[in-house]
A and B are shown apart, each in its own frame.
Chain A
């Protein structure tokens, strides 16, 4: 009887303590979003914690750009996150959702670029790719003799004489990834243009006017083949790496930083003759890169301790500069003027 009484008292006490503490103020920055931005955010947060003894290190969750922005736009207050990491720009529909929920002022911090590279197993020969080759190998419909046909190519050699006679298997990022959008825009679109497929699709497209037709055609060129040659990877780059390990004749899509950390297992392909590196991407020679950014709730500055300090610290030269730890990990730093403008904008808390 007695022991049961004690047990029940404990339960009630714990329950009450739990609810009483709900009023406790949050004293660390909370961040969620893109898994591509995550390693950079981790490094930034860690350095922040090291150099700011009185402030807590931010807590960072992963989960993808879309999920992060969704939670970011849930509203204001301590129960919501302060910063959303994104490997793509925030969409208009998401901005509208933010506005609707009271998140009116958002500071956009675009802190650098990430290159997207095509890589094969380290033991293979050199690969020189062009967007055209990738389009011909991976698109659902390709032009042949002036007409669109279902993709007939079986090996890379059929696509381009200089490529090896491997069966076409490419591990490309799945549709929920921000990387996929960049792949579509910079590779599939460019490839369609180079092969003339975009015109053929436009001729075939149905729509009320030219603009509607163009929209349909633009969507059609992005379709990848569904016969097993193009494999969507919904996990992260470690999964792509594992796929390449089990199929050494596959082609994988990686982030530059991931490749830089696994140079002993991967061999990178050149694109239009340019080898991807921090330098070639920063100069714009290498065509496939995308901006990395995070979004900050302006209303939380001042209420969440350390938020302003964290963002200012993150955009400082010693973090995102060319000599900083992010560049060391594989971030392509923004040009000097862009960084300066960003630092000023953050200081002034300039909202979008």
Chain B
């Protein structure tokens, strides 16, 4: 406004300038309305993208939580399962359970068990890992041999895609890769009730697999959990200690200024750089095993430290000086002041920073690529030194697979990851709400 009045010049009359202000009011209100419109548009734009993103993930991914299965009554013929009759584990492991499952399904479907082509078509309906399910049941309880085992086994990925409508039934059989006879069998099985979509526990418990129907995020979850624990154990004490020292004890000089600038810069360094660093230091120099979640955790710790230090320093700064002065006033030492008064008041802020940092680390893929965690890992790791993958890595690997069944799994795993992240952020918000003090 100051510029306006000088522009009008001193020679103008008072009523004149009042009328100019009057005229200007409408224009200024219009400018404000426009500005508010721009803001609303920006928010709507963001929401539209969010809705689109979630819409596509949910619509692609919700089917991953159910899986087409057959209910089979498998006669565990002791001739096939344990011909020697010794119940030796090696015999039980190597028995042809696939054949048993195929025969059982063939008899349910009314297929000719003596015709090889027919048996092959029946076999193609079942998952390639069907033998594992039966074998595990037998190994867990050898007394089942000779009896009939009734269980749900997974259908093949292609059958699953077909039943979920991801594969068009109207396509010619050669393109669909499911023959008309198989289609007839599937319809019959569904009508008879021994084919159904059941909740997909395998998605949460299984490791990597080349068959979409038996692939799961189990190993990735364990890997992510190990890494988060390591990050938590290492980065919180280190980060908080560094922040307290810098904020409360360090004298302000050129050195601490340089450190501060560097910490702020580190927080913005692309994560792949930390991966390179981890490869050079932890694997090539220290000789830690590749693909291990320990190395992943160490790399993510380096990445999370600056976030935690910055959040902790901000939280310490936000504690009003009156608290410190009061503590000094009753004779507390500097150490006592910080430990008894300042730090407890800063904890909500530190917690929030930690959780946000962890959430960031949980969603990270790029540094893990360098240290070998983007890998096909079938077996569960029992310690952080064994090979593992991480949740976002599993999503990335599924996204590049050829089979149709991996498309829904990619989105399904993304949904799980997003759910975990939302939970973490929610906890951060709740903690802040609960413990935050206002002065």
Do A and B share a complex? Answer: yes
Q: Are A57 and B379 in contact (CB under 8 A)?
A: yes
- B177 within 8 Å of A (CB atoms): yes
| Beta-carbon contact of B233 and A11 below 8 Å | yes
Contact B175 A264 (CB under 8 A): yes
Chain B residues within 8 Å of A41, by CB: 376
Whether B402 and A18, one on each chain, are in contact in the complex, defined by CB atoms closer than 8 angstroms, is no
Contact B289 A26 (CB under 8 A): yes
Contacts of B238 in A (CB 8 A): 11
Q: Which residues of B contact A24 (CB under 8 A)?
A: 289, 385
B128's partner among A78, A235, A325 (CB-CB below 8 A) is A325
Classify chain B: how many residues form its interface, as a range.
35 or more
Which residues from B are CB-within-8-Å of A57?
Answer: 377-379
Q: Return the chain A residue nearest B383 by Cβ.
A: A21
Tell me whether A28 is interfacial, beta carbon within 8 Å: yes
List residues 71-88 of chain B with CB under 8 A from any CB of chain A. Answer: none
B210 at the interface (CB under 8 A from A): yes
Q: Flag if B237 contacts A8 (CB, 8 Å).
A: yes
A35 in contact (CB, < 8 A)? yes
Query: Which residues in A have their C-beta under 8 angstroms from that of B167?
Result: 264
Chain B residues near A122: list those with CB within 8 A.
175
In angstroms, Cα B234 to Cα A42, docked, is 34
Known: A14-B233, A53-B93. A59 touches B339 (CB 8 A): no
Q: How far is the CA of A11 from the CA of B219 in the complex (A)?
A: 26
Known: A30-B290, A50-B132, A325-B128. A261 touches B402 (CB 8 A): yes
Contact with B along A48-64 (1 / 0, CB 8 A): 01110100110111110
Contact (Cβ within 8 A) A30 B404: no
A315→B208 CA distance, assembly (Å)? 22
Q: Give residues 366-417 of B contacting A (CB, 8 Å).
A: 369, 372, 374-379, 385, 387, 397, 399-404
Minimum C-beta distance from B59 to chain A (A): 16
Contact of A263 among B94, B175, B284, B287 (CB under 8 A): B175
Cβ contact within 8 Å between B372 and A22: no
CB atoms of B132 and A61 under 8 A apart: no
Q: B374–A238 contact, CB under 8 A?
A: no
Check if B378 sits within 8 Å of A39, measured CB to CB: no
> Is A87 in contact with chain B by the CB < 8 A criterion?
no
Contact call B335/A45, Cβ cutoff below 8 A: no
Does chain A have a CB within 8 A of B261?
A: no
Residue of B nearest to A258 (CB): B402
Q: Report the bound CA distance from A196 to B311 in whole Å.
A: 68
User: How far, in angstroms, from A262 to B403 measured CA to CA in the complex?
Assistant: 7
- Centre residue among A10, A26, A46, A51 by max chain B CB count within 10 A: A46
Bound-complex Cα distance A250 to B403 (A): 22
Q: Which A residues lie within 8 Å of B397 (CB)?
A: 62
Residues on A with C-beta less than 8 A from B89 are 53
Query: What number of A-B contacts does a CB cutoff of 8 Å give?
Result: 121
Question: Which residue on chain B has the smallest CB distance to residue A265?
Answer: B404
Q: How long is the Cα–Cα vector from A140 to B360 in the complex, in angstroms?
A: 46
Contacting pair B288 A22 (CB below 8 A)? yes
The answer to whether B233 and A237 have CB atoms under 8 Å apart is no
Contact B376 A60 (CB under 8 A): yes
Q: Are B287 and A79 in contact (CB-based, < 8 A)?
A: yes
Nearest opposing residue in chain A for B410, CB measure:
A238
Q: Is B209 among interface residues, defined by CB-CB distance under 8 A? A: yes
Residue of A nearest to B131 (CB): A50
B94 touches A51 (CB 8 A): yes
Q: Which of A10, A22, A28, A62 contacts B387 (CB 8 A)?
A: A28
Q: How far is B377's CA from A61's CA once the two chains are assembled, in angstroms?
A: 9
A22 and B287 within 8 A (CB)? yes
- Distance (whole angstroms) from the CB of A105 to the closest CB of chain B: 23
Also in contact, A46 and B210, with CB within 8 A (given A18-B294, A24-B385, A264-B168): yes
Residue A43 is within 8 A (CB to CB) of chain B in the complex: yes
Given A39-B210, A61-B372, A236-B400, A11-B234 contact (CB < 8 Å)? yes
Residues of A within 8 A of B355 (CB): none
Q: Determine how close the nearest CB of chain B comes to the CB of A293; give it in whole angstroms.
A: 18
Taken together as a complex, chains A and B put the C-alpha atoms of A329 and B403 apart, in Å, by: 10
**Interface membership of A4, Cβ < 8 A:** yes
Task: Report the Cα distance A122→B131, complex, angstroms.
Answer: 35
In the complex, the answer to whether B376 meets A264 with C-beta atoms within 8 Å is no
- Complex Cα–Cα for A8 and B131 (A): 50
A30 to B93, CA, bound (A): 25
Residue B291 lies at the interface, judged by CB distance under 8 Å to chain A? yes
* Interface membership of A38, Cβ < 8 A: yes
Of all chain B residues, which has the CB nearest A81?
B290
Judging by beta carbons under 8 Å apart, are B237 and A59 in contact? no
Residues on A with C-beta less than 8 A from B129 are 50
Q: Is the CB of B375 within 8 A of A262?
A: no
Task: Say yes or no: A1-B210 contact (C-beta < 8 A), given A7-B237, A258-B402.
Answer: no
Complex Cα–Cα for A59 and B376 (A): 6
Contacting pair A49 B379 (CB below 8 A): yes
B402 & A4 in contact (Cβ 8 Å cutoff)? no
Counting CB contacts under 8 A, is B359 at the interface?
no
- Which A253-269 residues have C-beta < 8 A from chain B? 257-258, 260-264
Q: With A and B bound together, what is the CA distance between A280 and B404 in angstroms?
A: 25
Tell me the complex Cα distance, A59–B372, Å. Answer: 10
Q: In the assembly, what is the distance between CA of A50 and CA of B177, in Å?
A: 27
> Which A residue sits closest to B175, measured CB to CB?
A263
Known contacts A24-B385, A30-B291, A62-B374: does B339 contact A39 (CB below 8 Å)? no
Which residues of A does B touch, CB under 8 Å? 1, 4, 7-8, 10-11, 14, 18-19, 21-24, 26, 28, 30, 32, 35, 38-39, 41-43, 45-46, 49-51, 53, 56-57, 59-63, 78-79, 122, 235-238, 257-258, 260-264, 325, 329
* A39-B401, A264-B176 given; 10 more Cβ-contact pairs under 8 Å: A10-B237, A18-B298, A21-B385, A35-B400, A46-B210, A50-B132, A61-B372, A79-B290, A236-B400, A261-B402
* A-B contacts, 29 listed (Cβ < 8 Å): A1-B335, A8-B237, A8-B241, A11-B234, A14-B234, A21-B385, A22-B286, A23-B287, A24-B385, A39-B402, A41-B376, A42-B208, A53-B93, A57-B379, A59-B291, A59-B387, A60-B375, A62-B375, A62-B376, A79-B283, A235-B400, A236-B400, A238-B399, A257-B402, A261-B402, A262-B404, A263-B176, A263-B177, A264-B167
The 3 closest A-B pairs by CB, nearest first: A7-B237, A60-B376, A261-B402
